[in-house]
Structure 1
Amino acid sequence: MMDQKSLFTLEYHKVLEKLVAYAAFSASAELARNLRPTRDLQEALDRQALTSETRLLLSQNGDISVGGSRDIRPFANRAAQHGLLEPNELLSIKYTLAAARDLSRTLIDNGEKLPLLSQLGAELPPPAGIIETISRVINDRGEVADNASPRLSSIRSEIKVAYDRLMSRLQQMIADPHKVSMLQEPIITQRNGRYVIPLRAEFKGRIKAIIHDQSASGATLFVEPLATVELNNRWHELHLEERDEIRRILLELSDEIGAEVVRIRDIVYALAKLDQALMMAKFAEDLNASEPVLVGIQPRGEDHPGSSIRLRQARHPLLDQTTVVPIDVEMDERTFGLVITGPNTGGKTVTLKTIGLLALMAQSGLHIPAQSGSQISIFDDIYADIGDEQSIEQSLSTFSGHITNITRILKNANARSLVLFDELGSGTDPQEGSALARALLAYLIRNRITCMIATHYPELKAFAHGSPGVVNASMEFNLRTLRPTYNLMIGLPGRSNALAISERLGLPKEIIEDARSMVDPSELRAEDLLDEIHRQRSIARKERHNAEKSRIQARQQERKLNERMEKIEDERLAILEKARQQAEDETNQLQRELETLRKDLARARQPLEALKTIETDLEEVQAEVQEPVIRKSTTPASQRQPLRLGEKILVRSLGMQGVVTAITDTDVEVMVGNLRVRATLTDIQRPGEKSARLEEEKNTSPKVSTRVRKALEQMEENQNHSTATIMHPSPGMELDLRGQLAEEAVEGQERFIESAYLAGMPFVRIIHGKGTGRLRQVIRENLSKSKYIQRWESGTEREGGDGVTIAFLKDD
């Protein structure tokens, strides 16, 4: 277990309290309060993966929760000891188990995308029959239902009859004209569980009755007429029978629940773990946190413990995320010690706590408020000596308190630990304190202990500069505003700003000059050099910020231009499609007129040769008109990654994935199973890549029918189970014969069919157009005679209808 004192020093408990605020019920709140960092790398990785999965789940279903759940373990424990559960407690059990059942189904259904949550969901299904039994026995108002048992149903029926008889008899009495004047008012009420009527005190004894109560003034007596005593008794007896039957039913149901006590405990624990994952995901979203890259301690020779800390844009999780200044902490492969210098209230302590807290959060499975890609090692222990260690009870000064704590830390720290010291060596004589601080740092470096130390001592800066494995860092200070900027600068020691600050605050110049003369000139030159380095670094940071801002603006402008180009392309497609449709209508009309003219000439026995030229020209026009309108890509070529041989892609027209085997300027050859397919660049897409106008392309690009796709899938399945065969070059999926004479078309078709058969293709698509239908007839007659063709069929409407023939080749 991590050092408890250091956890408290780093305020880890406050992080947990923030986490607990997201809890949906007490069991998960308790689990979150007991959350502790793990030393095991795999466990930490699993925790981080679970948080990432839960964030993905929330992004898809923001309403998911364990709502309605309660910690029902105390109820189940009492039931296991043959205790009686009340109806409202049984309802809590029902709602909790129902929530577990629903969540289990949701998580298991998403098992492929959310494997860890799916495993958690497998622990949630409730014991069979309990939810249904509770629903049958207890209604939603928390009452035992009439049909809970036949005996209870019978008793309640009798109670209703007894009640009606009692009320009827009492109503007769208060409505009797001879008795109504003796009553305070004609009503029926209850006293001591029995129904009575209000008799005026002066008429006491006029009605034979039993007195149960009287009013505060004594003017009214509440009496039970002797005529209704038996009816009251019967009604009361039935209620006692009802009570006993309800108790028996509840005891029976409680025993049934008690028998499943172990399973119910496991379900509540699984619900608590799931809710904790939801809490961590919501906390991460609110912090704008990211999953850290966790690595183990991997020793790099004798002089380095093998730790790694690379935190970019890290923010303290307990500070206001809108105003906190992010820091970059990066220790290269040769560095495992950091000495931080800077002014008071400059952010040194916050920096140490930020690093310590983020390490603890990462090992607890919490995403950290830092830029994606931040990396940190898994430490066995994290020790911190930060703040005032003064103890009145133990008569310890601040210095003594620090040394006591440091001594304890050094006894336990090793090469797999992270040590954080704030103001090392402070609280005593500066000379001795500086020497002690250097000795402590030397001890940590000798023992290869990853450490970060904040100090004021200038000697420690020089010591760090000359010690392998240690690097200086500083908190930036703005001399113009006399305020710290809270920026951490790795590689630069802090400057001594005392003289500059004093001068800015108006201290007489002669005093400043005297002070300068007392300082070693070499130190002044070093300070001037540091001033220049800090100034140049500040300028570089501003320039980098401006460049990043310009880059973002350029991307936004590029995005806007792309959107405008998409809109223009949409308008172009709409205009061309409208024109194409209009031309198709006109050619169809002309086709009908030619057919009418042919019939008229045939009836008049006139020669038809004059129509042949017109028909040929018309077929060519129809072929052009039937060409789909192709969308032009508006994405700049510079934004597309070039295809590579061996890359997996999706052939859109087939709806199947394959591997690129050849690339040309206009198309690619793709291996789908053992089938080589040639596809145009507009017909391919990388897996997972989304096309902004996929729906339009679906409407304008030729499609493959369901029957054809099934044939291809069957071929691929057969190929997967077959031995390797000699592959012949694929002639492609399509043969376009539009505009050719019948003899040329038949000759080209036969060569194409033979090549497709040798390549092992399952089918081919032959485009001949609609036209007069003569070319289609010749093509299909030749297919029927071919020894390579098993069968053929017309294309679907999306594939071109009668203008396309799909030919299926034999597979033997």
Structure 2
Amino acid sequence: MTKLALLRKAETVLEWDVLLDLLAKHASSPMGADLCRSLRLADHIADAKQLLGETGEMLTLQDRKEGFSLMPFPDLHPMLNRLEKGGTLETGEFHQISVLLGQVVEVKAKLVVARASIPLLYSRADVLSNHAQLKKAIDHCIDEEGHIRPTATPELSKLMDAIRSSKERIRKRIDAMLNKPKLAELLQEQYFDLRANRYVLPVRAECRSQVPGIVHDVSASGATVFIEPRELVERNNQMKVAEIEVEREIRKILNELAQRLVPHTGSIADDLVCLAQLDCIAAKATFSRLLDAKPVGLNTEGRIQLDRARHPLLVFARLRAQAAEGGVIPNDLYLDGSVRGLVISGPNAGGKTVTLKLLGLFALMVRAGLLLPCDPGSEMGLFPEVYADIGDAQDLSRDLSSFSAHITQMIGLLRHAAPGALVLLDEPVTSTDPTEGAALAEALLLRLTEQKMKVVVTTHYPRLKVLAQSRPGFLNASAEFDVSTLSPTYRVLFGMPGGSSAIDIAGRLGMDETLLEDALDRAKQGTTSEDEQKMTRIVDELQQRQRRLEEELRRAQVAREESERSADAQRETTEQIQQAERELKKDARRKVVEEFAMAKRRIHQLLEETKKEKSSAVIKTAKQQLAAIERETTERLSDLDSRVPLDQLQAGDHVDITPLGVVGILCEPPQSNRRVRVRIGERELSVDVDQLGGRVKEASIERATDPSTMPRNTSSRVAMDLGEEVLDVRGKYADDALYEMTNFLDQASLTNASLVRVIHGHGTGKLKQVLRDYLKESPYVEGFRPGDRNEGGDGVTIVDLK
């Protein structure tokens, strides 16, 4: 057999043609379908990657909002060839060309818009032409139904008007004739008709001699004769002449359109080919989507790593059957570059041949740009040649038995197959003596692998199983058989051979039980060697152990998933509890703030009473009560869970300044100091250690640097040296300034400040007067004076506190 014949035979037994026919059904055009049935197979990895990349990009293009699809279009090559030879086209054919030109413009626009995500497909846009003017010329003459437009040329429009007028005159004349009682008696019915595009009347056969004119037709029954009355002959002749002129004008228009198309036939043909190629790629993308196929990596080392691979034809069979359950069983197939030979054994009808065909089809699909039905992250070797000997090769026409036909194919394979080829052999060298057949199969397998081919065989020969188990570069695999149910699972297990289970399969298929028992006894007493029996037992034990391990793994995975779900639920519950706690704290703080406001009102009432009693004892008692109330209320606002002891605080820690109700950052450790410096924003204060509330965390920490969390009067307070503060109320209304100064004096009193400055500016003097009037009555004030020249003059009031 020739090399080409061997390759074609491999495609046949792998059912490659069946797969391509399924692919072709998803094309929109006959040309696209033809390309699908004759897909080019890439020989180099760069070409294969480009083909796969185009399919992947088409999936991306189809998933865009505007999508991508082609309207059906015919093969226009015969029309274009006719134009090139000087011929013309019919109106419908011109319309088909116009539709094609319009689709070219739309396709190119879509490719241009999405060019960033589809560079491979966009490169095809350069081939597409823009024949907008040519399409416009055709559409001006031909309408959407493929008919000539009456307005195609002024002359045609004039002739069409003439015909229309002629018809109207003839019909008026006929109406007048039908209204004559004498003629009406001669007619079969009161109507007129057209014969050979000439107006005629249906005259009764026995009366035809009474109607002078030309007979054009007779009804099937012979009862009616269609006569063109003599008085209509000239009018019909005039109409006929006008119609001939119209036909001549239409032919002239079509010839002119043909002449205009001739220079562009080459580019239109290129557009046609490009659209067909895009149609083929779109069919690949749709095909891949139906298979749930994914892009895979490619390599030239013969490495195969397929996760959850599924036979594409079986997937389509399930889709056709619309099976909701019992889908195609996936398999993980792993062959690294060091494995040159894979021996698959196991029971009949267990899926060995399906695995062979899957590998062969996958090898062809990646070369044709078809994505593979497997999980993402899989990898497939690129095999430039794929050979397969599957099924019965008996050929009576050539007087070849099954054995002779297989051996002939193996001879051709050894002669023509090149290194790097993928060779798939289904039970090689059978239909002969088992001992000699096994030896010949082993020799053949060794020779093929020595010639650097990747060989996958199915077998029942123990000799080949031993070879795969003991020789480097070979690997055993088995089609799993469930002893408990006496049925195959259609799963492939790597690393161990499989038993044939012929008697079990026969029983499952319904063979007589007594016959099966007899076969078992004969098998035990037969010529099967002790080593073979021992291997069979070992294989069965290994498969049972494999199933137990997989079941334990499945249970572990289920347990892990349940644990993860429980952990997620616990995290969600914890988050809900924390949220509830935050809400409770927030509500508690709100209530405390309300209490704090109430305390402030009590304080102001106390201050008003103190104004009336200016004795030092009363003032001292009021100050103590004020400090106690504010300290108690402020501490209730603090989050006690986030505090640490004062003796553990260090420079840089966040602290709560209890009297002021703000958060600051320590500038020095408090352990050996009576007063420490605390930074609030960009300012510093000197604060007694016993007025520190401890470290504050989380949300409270943010308050230390967020000016919005400061008390209201801090916006106009400036920290000065120890014992001195400044209040700036310039530009404020008198009521607002008085309110701020009242709070300011409250805070200054709590911090034991001895001297404060109030900056009010000069202005009209009203603000200064209001503030100084209040200072005269304030129980905190020992005295006050205008500022010196270097202190701001009369725009500043210096206040001495008690």
For 2:32, the equivalent position in structure 1 comes to 28
Matches within 5 A, 1:18-167: 18-61=22-65, 64-167=68-171
In structure 2, the CA distance between the partners of 1:205 and 1:456, relative to structure 1 (3 Å rule), is: closer
CA distance, structure 1, for counterparts of residue 267 and residue 575 of structure 2:
58
Please list, as runs of the form range in 1=range in 2, the aligned pairs for 1:53-452 lying within 5 A after superposition: 53-61=57-65, 64-201=68-205, 203-204=207-208, 206-216=210-220, 220-296=224-300, 306-320=301-315, 323-452=327-456
Q: In 2, are the aligned partners of 1:84 and 1:250 still within 8 Å (CA)?
A: yes
Q: Which moved more, 1:127-136 or 1:321-330?
A: 321-330
SS in 1 for 2:148: coil
Residue deviations 1:203-243 (CA, integer Å, cap 9, x gap)? 55555433334445655443333332221111110001111
**Closer, same or farther: CA 79–514 of 1 in aligned 2, 3 Å:** closer
- Please say if residues 189 and 196 of structure 1, whose CA atoms lie closer than 8 Å, have aligned partners that are also in contact: yes
- Work out the CA distance in 2 between the residues paired with 1:274 and 1:745: 77
- Give the secondary-structure state (helix, strand or coil) at the position aligned to 1:445: helix
Which runs of structure 2 are paired with 1:592-631 in the superposition (5 Å)? none
CA distance in 2: counterparts of 1:503 and 1:14, whole angstroms: 33
CA distance in 2 between counterparts of 1:573 and 1:118 reads 56
Q: Is the 8 A contact 2:346 2:501 kept in 1?
A: no
Q: 2:312 and 2:347 mapped to 1: Cα distance? A: 23
CA drift of 1:355 comes to 0.7
Deviation at 1:548, TM superposition (A): 3.7
- 1:544 and 2:535 are equivalent in the alignment: no
Aligned to 1:488: 492
* TM-fit CA distance, 1:68: 3.9
Matches within 5 A, 1:5-24: 5-24=9-28
Q: Which runs of 5+ in 2 are unaligned?
A: 319-325, 590-704, 721-735, 741-802
Worse-superposed segment, 261-270 or 381-390: 261-270
Higher helix share goes to which structure? 2
Matched letter for residue 128 of structure 1: A
CA distance in structure 1 between the aligned counterparts of 2:583 and 2:161, rounded to whole angstroms:
75
| Cα pair distance change 1:189/1:567, threshold 3 Å | farther
> Does structure 2 retain, via aligned residues, the 8 Å contact 1:339–1:452?
yes
> Which secondary structure does the structure 2 equivalent of 1:443 belong to?
helix
The total of aligned residue pairs comes to: 593
1:571 to partner: Cα distance: 11
1:220–1:101 distance in 2 versus 1, CA, 3 Å: same
Q: Distance in 2 between matches of 1:562 and 1:263?
A: 66
After alignment, is 153-162 or 516-525 more displaced? 516-525
Equivalent residue, structure 2, for 1:469:
473
Mapped contact 2:348–2:505 kept (Cα < 8 A): no
Distance 2:163 2:446 in 1: 89
1:364 to partner: Cα distance: 0.9
In 1, the alpha carbon distance for the partners of 2:579 and 2:71 equals: 46
SS for the counterpart of 1:339 is strand
Does the 8 A contact of 2:129 with 2:268 survive in 1?
A: no
Give, as a single letter, the amino acid of the residue that structure 1 aligns with 2:262: G
8 Å Cα contact 2:477/2:497 also seen in 1: yes
CA contact (8 A) 1:126 1:267 kept: no
**What are the Cα deviations for residues 714-761 of structure 1, in whole angstroms up to 9, with x where unaligned?**
xxxxxxxxxxxxxxxxxxxxx965445457699xxxxxxxxxxxxxxx
Deviation at 1:431, TM superposition (A): 1.3
For 2:27 and 2:138, how far apart are their aligned partners in 1? 27
Mark the CA change 1:214 to 1:535 in structure 2 (over 3 Å): closer, same or farther: closer
Amino acid at match of 1:366: L
Quote the offset at 1:325 in angstroms.
2.2
Distance 1:569 1:171 in 2: 97
Listed as ranges, the matches of 1:709-728 within 5 Å are none
SS of 1:384's equivalent in the other structure is: strand
Within 1, Cα distance between the matches of 2:587 and 2:185? 96
Q: Deviation at 1:337?
A: 1.1
* Residues 1:543 and 1:75: Cα distance change in structure 2 (over 3 Å): farther
Cα offset for 1:135?
Answer: 1.7
TM-score normalised to structure 1 length: 0.66
Q: What's the CA shift string for 1:523-546, capped at 9, x where partnerless?
A: 544443333322111111222233
What is the rounded CA distance, in whole Å, between the counterparts of 1:7 and 1:249 in structure 2? 52
Partner letter of residue 539 of structure 2?
L
Match of 1:478 in 2: 482
Query: What letter corresponds to residue 235 of structure 1 in structure 2?
Result: M
Question: Structure 1's 48 and 327: CA in aligned 2 closer, same or farther, altered over 3 A?
Answer: same
TM-aligned CA distance change 1:203 to 1:456, over 3 Å: closer
Secondary structure (helix, strand or coil) at the match of 1:223 reads strand
Query: Residues 557-596 of structure 1 correspond to what in structure 2 (within 5 A)?
Result: none
Q: Which residue identity is paired with 1:312? A: D
Report what 1:529 is aligned to: 538
**Residues 174, 354 of structure 1: CA spacing in aligned structure 2 closer, same or farther, 3 A cutoff?**
same
Q: Give the % identical residues.
A: 34
Greater gyration radius:
2
The DSSP-based 3-state class of the residue aligned with 1:421 is: strand
Offset, 1:483: 1.5
Correspondence for 1:4: 8
Q: Given residue 314 of structure 2, which amino acid in structure 1 is its aligned partner?
A: L
Q: Secondary structure at the match of 2:458?
A: strand
Would the aligned equivalents of 1:126 and 1:264 in 2 still touch at CA under 8 Å? no
Query: Does the CA contact (< 8 Å) of 1:341 and 1:493 recur in 2?
Result: yes
CA shift at 1:352, angstroms? 0.8
Q: What's the C-alpha RMSD, in Å, of the aligned pairs?
A: 3.9
Given that 1:426 and 1:433 are in contact with CA atoms closer than 8 Å, whether structure 2 keeps it comes out as yes
